[in-house]
Structure 1
Amino acid sequence: MKKVPPSYTLLLILSFLFPYVYSQSQDSCSSPLPLENALPFDTTSLQCVTVWSSQGFILRYVQAAANVWNFVVSAPSTNAYVGIGFSPNGDMVGSTAIVGWVESGGTPNMKEYFLGGQQPSLVRLIQQQPNQGLPIGNVSITLIQSGRIYIAFQLLTAQPGSRLIYAVGPAGRLPQAPDFRLTEHQERIATTLNYASGEFKTEKRPESSLRRSHGLLNMLGWAIMMPIGAMVARYMRKWDPLWFYLHAVIQSTAFLLGLIGVICGFVLDDRLSANVSKHKALGIFILTFGCLQVLALLIRPEKASKIRKYWNWYHFSVGRVLVFLAAVNVFYGIHLGKPGSSWNAGFAAVLVILFIITLIMEIRIWFRK
């Protein structure tokens, strides 16, 4: 077999990488606007800012007249919509969004939306609600070149708002005629821009830490510590009364952590007005079962009591249902929050470890019997 020269191998690698490198290097703030087709307005005096480096978003803008601002937004074309929003307060709701995408046939498209709420039905085209949003000029065009999408438009205002939002849609889910409804964004950032200097800063989402606390507390309390407390009660009976006190301490701590996590969830729901009714209903159900378990501890009958076996059935059944529903709801919450696959992988790994330990202990009990 003939040996392939290293130089030829390098050329092969570069031939695969070249389209990506080329598309990324064709636009930057250190070079002029690389468009073969001229835009309907002058582009020589546009100020340029790389506003979202991880997604390749570049913003160019200039005040063309007293009440006219020209904008050009460019981003990689990845079979997803890209958009810029002008927000009065930094939130998605209440903002005017200009969204562009390339249709399956290669035709570029662009629409203006007013984001009236969290539900997709409240995100509507400006032309369907003309009294909402910022006034958009007649110039509106989307171009595709060198693997990048360019959105050019005008705002008819004396001074655009400084709170800008950038978003990327989910791949393969483009707006479709006739209503061109937007699906929920895949990624987004909020920034504050100083138009005079071009300086900007990325705003931290105020609910991000609350969302993380909600997820971690519920995961640790209901879905991890509760099963561990149940395992202590089942497999450490020979160390009486140590097992009981250990079981009570673990479950009480788990309940408190879970309770705080649920409260964080209610606060988060109030701030975001998100449509998470199933997740919320499951959380309330789990909290109710947790309260029943606390009450069961307070009214626990003596071992010699005739009703002790019924109490045991109740306590074990409610506990098992609680643990199962908690695991389901944590996975569902991760799905809704979209924090990344690492959360799913980490939580699943903990559950697998607990399952393996449980299986080993059950096999030991079976062999003893």
Structure 2
Amino acid sequence: MKVFALLLLVVVVQDVNSEDSCTSSLNLKNKPLFDISSFHCVSVWDEQGYILRYLQTDRKVWSFVISAPNSNSFIGMGFSKDGKMVGSSAIVGWVSNDGSSTMKRYFLGGESSAEVVPDQGNLQLVNMTSSIIAQNSTIYMAFQLNTQVTPTNRLIYSLGPMGRLPSPVNYQLSQHRAHISTFFDYNSGESKSKSPYGNLRRSHGVLNMLSWGILIPIGVMVARYFRQYDPIWFYSHTTIQSLAFLLGFVGIVCGFVLEDRLSAHVDKHKALGIFILVLACLQVIAFLVRPGKESKVRKYWNWYHYTLGRILIILAAANIFYGIHLGGAGTAWNVGFAVTLVAFFSISIVLEIRLWMTK
């Protein structure tokens, strides 16, 4: 029994040691083509297990080893002037199923795969020093840069889709499944991965949630359940909806700006947002041309106004949840908005019952 426990302990220790980390020494069977024994080590992307080892090994040479779990995907490290992927240069590497490894330079000229050009960019690699090593389910990508100055602090890391490695025909990269933009201090080894344009993100999310997800439903409830307080209900309804429209418009503009700055691919979210804005504009136009109460077409106008408003609320709620998902805002935002909708729904049921009882 003691022997079995000892063997189990050895297996566990070996398994732990097989995981790459900065707390243990790096023992590679196949050594990189340059000495890495005195390199600094920093965890730069905890979510994906990316670790960066680096050192200025000569007056004009900076050496790097980026490691990540080998998930049958390419890994990339980019050097950017402004933290954006577009316009940056990157080193990308992968290990094929047959054990062969590939590392190439890329210039990220645009958002599409066709604009990510291999063997281009402003990174000057030191000849005969680049290598890729796969060991213990981890891939290590080692390279050296010839540079007159310290490399840019804006470092970008990317992870490709599983099982879709670049073809040796053209080495075209597929759209990455995850990436992160960081600010790296070479002196302290501190890597900050603060979400870019955080204030703009929050403004976009909060304004749209407040307008389309909260104020619009409140305005609808006022018009539906408080008509006995005429004309207060009418002025309250128009004021609330007008405020919601203005806030929502600003929120959507923030979304356009955010998409441009992040070079984000959010086509579905964007299309839904534009459609919701169009519906809101139609409601404004309908309000301006509404017929009089005694008009024969007033009931059709009421049906139109009612139906369009409900469609807008449903689509807005769905798009808000989708936006929370895209922004990675977390469970708290989902729960908070869901609780708000449940509260609105519960209040509406109570008021609807009261309305039918008074008829």
Structure 1 residue aligned with 2:122: 133
Structural mapping, 1:346-357, within 5 Å: 346-357=336-347
The more displaced of 271-280 and 145-154 is 271-280
> Would you say 1:62 and 2:55 are equivalent positions?
yes
Q: 1:325 to 1:110 in 2, by over 3 A?
A: same
- 1:112-131 map, 5 Å: 112-126=105-119, 130=120
CA distance in 2 between counterparts of 1:80 and 1:94 reads: 23
Task: Within 5 Å, give how 1:38-57 maps onto structure 2.
Answer: 38-53=31-46, 55-57=48-50
Which segments of 5 or more consecutive residues in structure 1 lack a partner in the other structure? Answer: none
What whole-Å deviation, never above 9, does each CA across 1:102-149 have from its counterpart, x for those lacking one? 4456665433322112223322322xxx4x331223322222333432
Flag the 1:15–1:240 CA change in 2: closer, same or farther, 3 A. farther
1:10-31 CA distance string (max 9 Å, x none)? 999989976764344x531x55
In the TM superposition, what is the alpha-carbon distance from 1:263 to its structure 2 partner? Answer: 1.9
Q: How many residues align?
A: 355
Paired residue for 2:87, among 87, 91, 94? 94
Q: Name the counterpart of 1:73.
A: 66
State how far apart, in whole Å, the 2-side matches of 1:21 and 1:350 are. 45
Partner of 2:283: 293
Residue 185 of structure 2 is aligned to residue 202 of structure 1 = no
Residue by residue over 1:52-75, the C-alpha shift from the partner in whole angstroms, topping out at 9 and shown as x without a partner, is 455543322334445433221223
1:236-256 CA deviation, whole Å, 9 max, x = no partner? 334444433432333223212
SS state of the match for residue 150, structure 1?
strand
Distance in 2 of aligned mates of 1:32 and 1:62: 16
User: Where does residue 174 of structure 2 map in the other structure?
Assistant: 182
8 Å CA contact 2:211, 2:244 repeated in 1: yes
- Structure 2: give runs of 5+ residues left out of the alignment: none
Tell me what 1:27 maps to.
21
Corresponding residue of 1:251:
241
Question: C-alpha separation between the residues in 2 aligned to 1:268 and 1:308?
Answer: 41
1:315 equivalent among 284, 287, 305: 305
CA distance in 1, matches of 2:160, 2:334: 20
Q: In structure 2, what is the Cα distance between the partners aligned to 1:337 and 1:291?
A: 26
1:191 corresponds to: 183
Q: Cα 1:22–1:239, aligned 2, differ >3 Å: closer, same or farther?
A: farther
| 1:167 maps onto 2:161 in alignment | no
The equivalent of 1:283 in structure 2 is 273
TM-superposed CA distance for 1:153, in Å, is 1.1
Separation in 2, partners of 1:136, 1:353: 60
CA contact (8 A) 2:113 2:172 kept: no
CA–CA distance in structure 2, aligned partners of residues 145 and 328 of structure 1: 44
1:264-316 per-residue CA deviation (whole Å, 9 max, x = no partner) reads 12322332344445543433332233233234444544433444323323322
CA shift, 1:215, in A, is 2.0
Structure 2 Cα separation of the partners of residues 27 and 222 of structure 1: 46
Distance 1:332 1:54, change over 3 A: closer
Q: Of 314, 319, 330, which residue of structure 2 is paired with 1:324?
A: 314
Shift in CA distance, 267/168, structure 1 to aligned 2, threshold 3 Å: closer
CA contact (8 A) 1:190 1:203 kept: yes
2:75–2:160: 8 Å Cα contact kept in structure 1? no
Instruction: State the secondary structure of the residue aligned to 1:228.
Output: helix
Change (3 A) 1:16 1:253: farther
What percentage of residue pairs aligned between the two structures are identical? 49
- Which residue identity does 1:22 align to in structure 2? N
> Alpha-carbon deviations, 1:164-192, whole Å to 9, x = none?
42424266354242434132342413123
Contact 1:173 1:183 in 2 (8 A): no
Cα–Cα, structure 1 residues 31 and 272, in superposed 2: closer, same or farther, change >3 Å? closer
User: After the TM superposition, which of the residue ranges 289-298 and 13-22 deviates more from structure 2?
Assistant: 13-22
**2:254 equivalent to 1:260:** no
TM-score (norm 1): 0.78
Letter in 2 for 1:184: H
Q: Taking structure 2 as the reference length, what is the TM-score of the superposition? A: 0.80
What is the RMSD computed on CA atoms of the aligned residues? 3.7
Which of 293, 304, 310 aligns to 1:303? It is 293
Quote the offset at 1:152 in angstroms: 0.7
Contact 1:175 1:183 in 2 (8 A): no
